[in-house]
Amino acid sequence: MNLAEKIIAAHTDKKEVSPGEFVNVRVDLILANDITAPIAIREFRRIGVSKVFDPKRVVMVLDHFVPNKDIATAEISKMMREFCAEQGALFFEVGKAGIEHALLPEEGLVLPGELVIGGDSHTCTYGALGAFSTGVGSTDLAAAMATGDIWMKVPPTIKFIYHGNLGKWIGGKDLILYTIGDIGVDGALYSAMEFSGEAIDALSMDGRFTMANMAIEAGAKAGLFRVDNKTQLYIKSRARRPYHVYEPDRDAEYAKVIEYDVSGMEPQVALPHLPSNTKTVSEVGGIEIDQAVIGSCTNGRLEDLRVAAQILKGRKVHPRVRCIVIPGTQQIYLDALSEGLIEIFIKAGAVVSTPTCGPCCGGHMGVLAEGERCISTTNRNFIGRMGSPKSEVYLSNPAVAAASAIAGSIISPAEIN
């Protein structure tokens, strides 16, 4: 069995599973946010069960519309707050939390070998830790909160091998954008993506989180990495319960194996209106922008902020551009503050936000008007994703976003003198 099959099998009463098989799996963690929790809570009430199966394994995070932007979002937050207090479930309040997919690994709530479901498509982020994690609908969340298990179809796995050395300004965002550009937004439809190769071995944990996060943008059910020393170091100080590391068998079967040589790769940019519409930054051709967003569950971690600050230090955001920096969690915000990164951003003319999904989902903190263009480190650039359906979103890594904020148009960080 491969990595995904090993983890799924361990959460069933079967010794092995195979692609296409329908199985009932025990879940280690259930996640909901301020978009998906309300439906899940209402459906949980309809089931008629008085208590969740295990309050320590149900987590709710306020992150999409925080701080609350209107009465409707305030009511949602209140509903979640009261439900978690009643059930004893884990609840992360604004000011003590952050964006869910940066927060849960940071808090040690997801560990290797676990099976995690979340009411958010980017729950696949936790595959960076060697966990099988995937997004589900709110009614599935409700059933899992009541029973502790969920049914799923075992996905086929596509193995991706990245050879070569990563150049300057190249990270996980470039690797995953290049991959999606190659296979398309349905290239891994209902499959697990297993990432490997020497370029992956060299990639930081922050870079791996970015890649796993965007597996869904290729249609994948999950994106997984093997656990290595970097993973172990990351979780060493965070793990508060035992965990099991699974390895794919030497003779593991894959639906497909795709190999890339990433030596000499340029930073990648996804043009409107699909993450698969990728070009190298030099091919984009200096498109003027109105806004730059650096942050989100894809690229709002400390390493991302460091890269952006390295480029913005001593420089100014273009007079025509709004630059919005959003740390992924309160801890990342605090670390960036202690390292002097926040001061760099503010002196450059950027605004620094409370951790929030905000502009990524067109919620608040940077919604676009008709005709405006934004370079963003977020994960999606669908029509109307960040505001007006007549606006445009270009996806990139933090270095490209920061360089473009200075230039006023999309350029390579190598062009900043």
Q: For the segment 175-231, what is each residue's pLDDT rounded down to a tens digit? A: 999 999 999 999 999 999 999 999 999 999 999 999 999 999 999 999 999 999 999
H or E element in which residue 73 lies: helix 71-87
- Residue range(s) of every CATH 3.30.499.10 domain in the chain: 3-259, 268-415
pLDDT of residue 417: 65
- Strands in 268-270's sheet, in edge-to-edge order, are 278-280, 268-270, 392-395, 373-376, 291-295, 322-326, 351-352
Residue pair 416/407 in contact by the 8 Å Cβ criterion? yes
pLDDT at 153 over 90: yes
* C-alpha distances out from residue 324 to 73, 213, 386, 414, Å: 22, 21, 13, 21
**Residue 162 confidence (pLDDT):** 98
Give the angle subtended at the CA of 65 by the CAs of 209 and 239, to the nearest 5°: 35
Residue 362: which pLDDT band, with cuts at 50, 70 and 90? confident
Neighbours of 56 (CB within 10 A): 12
Task: Give the domain 268-415 fold.
Answer: Aconitase; domain 3 (3.30.499)
For residue 286, is pLDDT > 90?
Answer: no
Residue 137 pLDDT: 94
Mean pLDDT of the chain: 95
pLDDT at 285: 81
Please list, in sequence order, all residues whose beta carbon lies within 8 angstroms of the beta carbon of residue 340, skipping any fewer than 6 positions away.
Answer: none
User: Which of 111-125, 360-374, 387-401 is the least confident region?
Assistant: 360-374
Q: Report pLDDT for 363.
A: 84
Span 3-259: which CATH code? Answer: 3.30.499.10
Which pLDDT score is estimated for 346?
98
Q: Is residue 66 predicted with pLDDT exceeding 70?
A: yes
